[in-house]
């Protein structure tokens, strides 16, 4: 009992001794906040986040922004932080931080009215060797004095001296770019600032803020002024970030409150140090800010609040984290369920987002990053047999677990905003090379047979419980807390920041590189404390006995500079090392390992890089003739001058299973029935084989079907002669090596069968006359057998060119399309009146043998009604093409729901009736709908749907006004149009103008003189006519004169699909 009492006494005394040596931090820290109990402690927290030591620092008054507003670039130039103090009394927390940093040279921003002589005396008494005060007679001259100390790079910032938000918004960027910040009055440029400009080499001045804070007269007096402003402080903040977006790195986004200067002032220097944006917010994130950030967020972006939740609301930070789920990626899983194949594996060529709880993803290889989004809340996600080659970012999850079974990943970042407590469970053969616990949580490796969590880093203020066995844990931030319960173990603990390790779990080796570390249970092997330091280990105060140092002025992080990741490049894009590979069956060991990264870079916590080599060895004896996954370990080597110890990489090489491509056969009958299906057989089921792995030469590849040892492949558009070979080549699918890689087979091509096209209107076949041409292209390139002429598709009433060998018929025309001769691959139909003027036009695309869906696109085939007749019907008839298949025609909505269907079996005549005409709804297919065609060969599967796009929606809000009150006569200057378009960029809007008494008929009338207006964006379009002013006519050909007119607008997409016409109200056009 006496021993127990004495032990407690020793522990108590040791704690007292430790506290007298270690400088206790007054700040609290969370992974997504940098904050203290007040503005002074928040400034200290920012300093601890960004600087391990620093010879320089800037001290400013904490209760007034004026002198401190320009201090950011000064601090950046000398590589130190900004700290705050009271005017008449030195802040105790600030003094403690100055001592921790080891500051030798301190700049005071402002005169004795800002920071008193008594504060300066206290600093000298504390041992600060050099104190340099920078000040002027007022805030404006002080800004000039600081600018002179900063120097210039030819650019400067001009901001109002009467308020702080605008200057703070640009402070981080100005710090990064070395631009001094000068202050001004609204209406008068201070003489000191004017004199500075005149005597400097400044050629560009960024004027921040609108006319309400800096007048144009002041702005224009600055050299090369460029104003960056918005409607309020938040819009100005975004205007600044947009202008300098190319200079910013959005890996970290710092968020500060916009109605208080202190936190943003000190945080701006930290933001500038890493080229990060500083975003201002209110109690809710402004809409414009949210919109801007949505375009800049990355899956890996970390959001950091400057100040506690009472300053920067948790909802703001959480909202930004959840916004990452809107980033465009290859795959998204946003509803509960199980995803991934039952057998084999699926490879996703890009990144993945999971944004719902109760999701299981299995048997999947992700070539990019994986984001577990904030919308998961405290729900569960299971990753089973998943490999992530990029980073895994966990922004959601709770105590109910993120379960990783047989998971293979390189870097996992756990970053759940405010209050998150994630339980991460490793099971099976899971291997996680690096885990950064940036949120409180639990790591559980008790169910793993693999390496589990290989290397764990813990930043400032995070509390983590370790359950199971862990290779290496690095404490990187002050205030971190580790709980290691009995039965758990850590092989190597590197304490690089003040931290507390509790529990009766076992640590083998502890390396203590900073003060303020306590470890409840003594490590079993070695405890190394850096020279000059002490630590509490097992209730005993242990002093440093070696010369290992964590020194070096101006370094990043709250502790030693450490390794944060391993990458193939050193340019900041941080592409992950290649640690997994798929190799062919029979690949020798050296070749297999050559598929993995053998060189790269280790990234350090100060964002520098060290070149490394990786030497790979297989964990077990390698055999290239034994299929399956084989674990590898890469030994990392490099020259680390800071004493960092690299962690070996882990990976997997998978040897493909051998598959023999045994036979390739084709259906059909020589000379009569064309081949439509190829059959492939194998000796082993290649479960992952997909159509994308297959290349066909001599025909067009279609769908792949089948399982087991047999696959069927649809082919169309055969380009070789009857009896000639097509080639099927197979690229090795995931997990399999297929030999031989290709085979050939003779295919059958049926005899040429003519296509018959019949067009009728109002129940009458060819009511006037029809001319039919065989052509070699859509949209008006006409070709006969012997010659060709290119021209635009004619307008209503134009002449049709005469061809000596054109095809003309009163009822129907047969166009021979045969074998590989696709010269005549379009049929074009023109309806002409008694005077050989065009009154209708249509076209039909024909493929060789018609083995693909026929795209029958009726551009227009209008009635001659006067606008009062009932809308007639248009009837299209397709006749015998190939007697072995079926065409199915659909009309469908924009969302894809079928409206109706009509099957047509080749060899018989079939009609498709469209009610209505162009005057009402473009061939009776309404705006926002489309026509779809498929082809089903005998014994085969229906092809994918082919279509000509959605029919455009009609314009709205058409207006016609007379704006010419100057020029005599009526001409195009009298006509001004506007309308709202619903079409897409690149589409056009055709404009027609008619006397009000004449009904509009499409396509009877031509465009108005000015032609068509390009749609550049989906907003209101206004169009005032210009150009020549003589010999101009309305769309019906009548001369323009005073009277009542109506404008008609038709939207036309890039495929020629047209909307219904939209009309304006009648407008009285006057002759001035």
421 and 526 housed in the same domain:
yes
Give the model confidence (pLDDT) of 223-243 as tens digits. 999 999 998 999 999 999 999
Nearest Cα to Cα of residue 583 among 572, 591, 571: 591
pLDDT of residue 258: 86
pLDDT of residue 351: 94
Give the model confidence (pLDDT) of 1016-1030 as tens digits. 443 344 444 444 455
Q: What's the CATH code of the domain at 969? A: 2.60.40.4070
Whether the CB-CB separation of 558 and 460 falls below 8 Å is answered with yes
Tell me the C-alpha distance between 590 and 616, whole Å.
10
812 and 845 housed in the same domain:
yes
Tell whether 549 is covered by a domain. no
Tell whether 8 is covered by a domain. no
pLDDT of residue 560: 59
pLDDT of residue 364: 95
**What phi-psi label fits residue 421: left (phi over 0), alpha (psi between -120 and 50 degrees) or beta?**
beta
**Residue after which a domain boundary falls, among 602, 630, 655:** 655
Residue 786 CB neighbour total at 10 angstroms? 8
638 and 664 housed in the same domain:
no
Q: In what order do the strands lie in the sheet with 657-666?
A: 700-705, 710-716, 677-682, 657-666, 736-739
pLDDT of residue 589: 92
**Residue after which a domain boundary falls, among 699, 718, 746:** 746
Number of domains in the chain: 6
Joined tokens for residue 855: 């795209």
Tell whether 823 is covered by a domain. yes
Whether the per-residue pLDDT at 394 is higher than 90: the answer is yes
Nearest Cα to Cα of residue 377 among 403, 358, 353, 390: 358
More reliable by pLDDT, 444 or 399: 444
Phi, psi of 869 (to 5 degrees): -70, 160
pLDDT of residue 385: 93
Tell whether 1054 is covered by a domain. yes
802 CB-near residues (< 8 Å, 6+ apart): none
Q: What's the CATH code of the domain at 625? A: 2.60.40
pLDDT band for position 734 (50/70/90)?
Answer: confident
**Average pLDDT score over residue span 889-902:** 44
Give the model confidence (pLDDT) of 62-109 as tens digits. 888 877 789 999 999 999 999 999 999 999 999 999 999 999 999 999
pLDDT of residue 982: 61
651 and 661 housed in the same domain:
no
Q: Which residues face 519 on adjacent strands?
A: 501, 537
Tell me the C-alpha distance between 97 and 88, whole Å.
19
Whether the per-residue pLDDT at 872 is higher than 60: the answer is no
Residue 379 CB neighbour total at 10 angstroms? 18
Whether the CB-CB separation of 155 and 200 falls below 8 Å is answered with no
Tell me the C-alpha distance between 38 and 84, whole Å.
11
**Average pLDDT score over residue span 776-803:** 41
| 792 burial level (CB within 10 Å; 0-12, 13-18, 19+) | exposed
775 and 923 housed in the same domain:
yes
pLDDT of residue 912: 42
Share of the chain above pLDDT 90, in %: 35
Tell whether 685 is covered by a domain. yes
Give the model confidence (pLDDT) of 703-713 as tens digits. 888 888 999 99
Question: Angle 941-947-950 (CA atoms, 0-180°, nearest 5)?
Answer: 140
931 and 849 housed in the same domain:
yes
1025-1028-1033-1037 Cα dihedral, nearest 10 degrees:
-120
Tell whether 13 is covered by a domain. no
Whether the per-residue pLDDT at 452 is higher than 50: the answer is yes
94 and 192 housed in the same domain:
yes
Tell whether 327 is covered by a domain. no
More reliable by pLDDT, 804 or 212: 212
pLDDT of residue 891: 46
Whether the CB-CB separation of 567 and 601 falls below 8 Å is answered with yes
Q: What is the CA radius of gyration of the chain?
A: 38
**Average pLDDT score over residue span 103-116:** 93
**Average pLDDT score over residue span 463-476:** 90
Tell me the C-alpha distance between 799 and 484, whole Å.
90
Tell me the C-alpha distance between 437 and 435, whole Å.
6
Highest mean pLDDT, choosing among 286-300, 524-538, 747-761, 927-941: 286-300
Residue 535 CB neighbour total at 10 angstroms? 27
Q: Write out the residue range of the structural domain in which residue 628 sits.
A: 564-655
Residue linked to tokens 């201090």 = 71
914 and 805 housed in the same domain:
yes
Phi, psi of 917 (to 5 degrees): -145, -170
Tell me the C-alpha distance between 962 and 972, whole Å.
10
311-314-320-326 Cα dihedral, nearest 10 degrees:
-160
Whether the per-residue pLDDT at 770 is higher than 90: the answer is no
Nearest Cα to Cα of residue 688 among 728, 739, 652, 738: 738
Whether the per-residue pLDDT at 174 is higher than 90: the answer is yes
367 and 489 housed in the same domain:
yes
Give the model confidence (pLDDT) of 16-27 as tens digits. 333 333 333 444
**Average pLDDT score over residue span 958-972:** 79
Q: In what order do the strands lie in the sheet with 946-947?
A: 898-905, 885-893, 929-937, 946-947
414 CB-near residues (< 8 Å, 6+ apart): 394, 422, 424, 435, 436, 437, 438, 439, 441
590 CB-near residues (< 8 Å, 6+ apart): none
Tell me the C-alpha distance between 1044 and 1034, whole Å.
12
Tell whether 325 is covered by a domain. no
Joined tokens for residue 39: 């503005």
88-93-94-96 Cα dihedral, nearest 10 degrees:
120
The chain-wide mean pLDDT, for the chain, equals 76
Residue linked to tokens 């009338």 = 1005
**Residue after which a domain boundary falls, among 606, 622, 655:** 655
Whether the per-residue pLDDT at 136 is higher than 70: the answer is yes
943 and 994 housed in the same domain:
no
236 and 180 housed in the same domain:
yes
More reliable by pLDDT, 744 or 859: 744
Give the model confidence (pLDDT) of 346-383 as tens digits. 999 999 999 999 899 999 999 999 999 988 988 899 99
Tell me the C-alpha distance between 817 and 821, whole Å.
7
253 and 268 housed in the same domain:
yes
pLDDT band for position 628 (50/70/90)?
Answer: confident
Give the model confidence (pLDDT) of 647-691 as tens digits. 888 888 888 889 999 999 999 888 778 888 999 999 988 888 888
pLDDT band for position 1056 (50/70/90)?
Answer: low
């Amino acid at each position: 009992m006496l021993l127990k009492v004495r032990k407690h006494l020793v522990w108590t005394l040791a704690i007292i001794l430790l506290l007298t040596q270690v400088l206790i931090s007054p700040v609290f820290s969370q992974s997504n906040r940098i904050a203290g109990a007040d503005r002074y402690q928040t400034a200290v927290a920012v300093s601890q986040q960004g600087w391990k030591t620093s010879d320089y620092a800037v001290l400013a008054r904490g209760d007034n922004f004026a002198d401190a507003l320009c201090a950011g670039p000064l601090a950046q130039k000398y590589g130190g932080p900004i700290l705050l103090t009271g005017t008449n009394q030195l802040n105790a927390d600030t003094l403690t931080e100055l001592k921790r940093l080891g500051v030798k040279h301190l700049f005071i921003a402002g005169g004795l009215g800002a920071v008193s002589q008594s504060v300066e005396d206290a600093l000298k008494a504390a041992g600060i060797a050099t104190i340099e005060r920078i000040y002027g007679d007022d805030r404006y001259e002080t800004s000039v004095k600081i600018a002179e100390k900063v120097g210039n790079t030819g650019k400067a910032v001009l901001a109002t001296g009467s308020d702080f938000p605008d200057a703070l918004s640009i402070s981080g960027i100005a710090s990064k770019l070395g631009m001094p910040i000068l202050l001004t009055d609204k209406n008068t440029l201070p003489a000191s600032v004017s004199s500075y400009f005149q005597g400097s080499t400044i050629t560009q001045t960024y004027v921040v803020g609108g006319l309400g804070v800096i007048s144009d007269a002041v702005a224009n007096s600055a050299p090369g002024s460029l104003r960056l402003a918005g409607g309020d402080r938040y819009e100005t903040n975004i205007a600044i970030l947009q202008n300098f977006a190319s200079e910013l790195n959005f890996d970290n986004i710092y968020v500060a409150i916009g109605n208080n200067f202190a936190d943003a002032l000190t945080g701006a220097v930290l933001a500038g140090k890493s080229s990060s944006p500083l975003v201002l917010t209110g109690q809710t994130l402004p809409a414009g800010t949210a919109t801007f950030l949505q375009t800049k967020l990355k899956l890996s972006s970390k959001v950091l609040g400057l100040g506690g939740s009472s300053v920067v609301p948790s909802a703001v930070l959480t909202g930004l984290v959840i916004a990452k789920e809107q980033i465009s990626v290859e795959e998204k899983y946003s509803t509960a369920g199980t995803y991934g194949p039952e057998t084999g594996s699926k490879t996703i060529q890009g990144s993945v987002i999971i944004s719902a709880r109760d999701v299981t993803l299995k048997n999947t290889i992700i070539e990019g990053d994986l984001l577990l989004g904030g919308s998961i809340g405290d729900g569960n996600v299971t990753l089973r047999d998943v490999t992530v080659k990029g980073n895994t970012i966990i922004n959601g999850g709770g105590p109910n677990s993120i379960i990783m079974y047989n998971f293979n990943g390189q870097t996992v970042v756990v970053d759940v905003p405010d209050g998150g407590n994630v339980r991460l469970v490793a099971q099976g053969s899971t291997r996680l090379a690096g885990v950064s616990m940036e949120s409180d949580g639990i790591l559980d490796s008790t169910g793993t047979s693999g390496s589990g969590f290989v290397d764990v880093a813990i930043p400032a203020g995070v509390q983590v419980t370790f359950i199971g066995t862990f290779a290496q844990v690095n404490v990187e931030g002050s205030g971190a807390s580790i709980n290691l319960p009995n039965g758990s173990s850590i092989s190597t603990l590197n304490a690089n920041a003040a931290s507390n390790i509790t529990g009766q779990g076992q640590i083998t080796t502890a390396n203590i590189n900073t003060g303020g570390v306590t470890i409840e249970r003594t490590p079993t092997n070695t405890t190394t404390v850096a020279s000059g330091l002490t630590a509490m280990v097992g209730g005993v105060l242990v002093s440093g006995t070696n010369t290992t140092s964590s020194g070096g002025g101006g370094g990043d992080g709250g502790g030693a500079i450490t390794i944060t990741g391993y990458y193939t490049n050193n340019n900041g894009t941080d592409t992950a090392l290649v640690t997994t590979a798929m190799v062919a069956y029979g690949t020798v060991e050296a070749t297999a390992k050559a598929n993995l990264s053998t060189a790269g870079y280790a990234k350090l916590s100060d964002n520098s890089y060290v070149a490394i080599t990786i030497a790979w060895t297989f964990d077990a004896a390698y055999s290239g003739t034994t299929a399956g996954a084989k674990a590898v370990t890469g030994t990392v080597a490099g020259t680390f001058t800071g004493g960092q110890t690299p962690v070996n990489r882990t990976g997997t090489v998978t040897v493909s299973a051998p598959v023999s491509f045994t036979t390739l056969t084709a259906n059909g009958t020589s000379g009569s029935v064309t081949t439509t299906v190829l059959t492939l057989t194998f000796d082993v089921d290649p479960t992952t084989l997909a159509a994308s792995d297959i290349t066909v030469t001599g025909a067009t590849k279609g769908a792949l079907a089948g399982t087991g040892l047999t696959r069927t492949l649809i082919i169309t558009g055969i380009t070789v002669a009857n009896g000639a070979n097509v080639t099927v080549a197979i690229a090795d699918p995931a997990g399999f090596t297929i030999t031989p890689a290709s085979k050939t087979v003779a295919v059958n091509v049926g005899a040429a069968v003519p296509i018959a096209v019949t067009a009728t209107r109002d129940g009458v076949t060819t009511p006037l006359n029809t001319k039919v041409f065989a052509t070699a292209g859509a949209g008006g390139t006409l070709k006969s057998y012997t010659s060709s002429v290119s021209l635009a598709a004619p307008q209503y009433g134009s002449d049709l060119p005469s061809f000596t060998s054109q095809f003309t018929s009163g009822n129907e025309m047969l166009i021979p399309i045969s074998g590989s001769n696709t010269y005549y691959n379009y049929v074009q139909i023109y309806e002409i009146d008694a005077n050989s003027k065009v009154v209708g036009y249509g076209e039909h695309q024909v493929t060789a043998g018609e083995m693909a869906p026929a795209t029958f696109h009726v551009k227009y085939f209008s009635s001659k009604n006067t606008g009062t007749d009932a809308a007639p019907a248009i009837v299209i008839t397709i006749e015998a093409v190939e007697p072995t298949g079926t065409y199915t025609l659909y009309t469908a909505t924009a969302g894809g729901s079928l409206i109706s269907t009509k099957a047509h079996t080749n060899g018989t005549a079939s009609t498709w009736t469209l009610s209505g005409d162009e005057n009402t709804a473009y061939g009776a297919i309404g705006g926002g709908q489309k026509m779809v065609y498929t082809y089903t060969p005998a014994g085969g599967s229906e092809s994918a749907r082919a279509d000509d796009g959605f029919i455009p929606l009609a314009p709205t809000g058409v207006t016609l006004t007379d704006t010419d009150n100057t020029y005599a006569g009526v001409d195009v200057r009298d006509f001004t149009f506007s309308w709202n378009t619903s079409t897409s960029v690149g589409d056009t809007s055709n404009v027609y103008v008619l006397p009000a008494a004449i009904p509009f008929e499409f396509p009877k009338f031509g465009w108005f003189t000015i032609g068509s207006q390009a749609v550049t964006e989906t907003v209101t379009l206004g169009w005032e006519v210009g150009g020549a002013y003589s010999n101009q006519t309305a769309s019906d050909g009548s001369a323009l004169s005073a009277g009542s007119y109506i404008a008609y607008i038709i939207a036309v997409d890039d495929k020629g699909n047209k909307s219904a016409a939209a009309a304006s109200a009648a407008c009285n056009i006057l002759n001035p």
